[in-house]
Amino acid sequence: MNEEEPKLPTVDELLFSAAASLVQLGAKSFVEEQVEDGQKAIEGIRALEPLLSEDERNALKEPLAQLQMMYVKATQKPDPGEEERAKARAKIWTPGS
């Protein structure tokens, strides 16, 4: 190997870097309401998980869970009756009010 050539990352480093990048892109996708891209990011992370070390999987566990929650919120259909129930609860008398 020529000393002037830049050192390439290892396959393991590249796989973890790709998964970490997907976390960032997935979060950005949900913020920008691009749910399909966010879903693809989640699927990409899941596909890479078996190839990662246990420490790397553990490092991605919480960010992946957060992305999954963002997906659930983005795809959840609003309950049309929830607003009326919230208004009704606000009218309920409670001691001290």
Domain of residue 21, residue span: 11-91
Specify the number of domains making up the chain. 1
Average pLDDT score over residue span 74-97 = 75
Residue that is written with structure tokens 């290892």 in the block? 10
Q: Is 2 strand, coil or helix?
A: coil
| pLDDT number for residue 4 | 81
In a domain, residue 1? The reply is no
In a domain, residue 96? The reply is no
In a domain, residue 2? The reply is no
Question: 44-53: per-residue pLDDT in tens?
Answer: 999 999 999 9
> Between these two residues, 82 and 1, which has the higher pLDDT value?
82
Average pLDDT score over residue span 30-56 = 97
Q: How far apart are CA 17 and CA 65, in angstroms?
A: 18
pTM of the complete model beyond 0.85: no
Average pLDDT score over residue span 27-37 = 96
| pLDDT number for residue 97 | 58
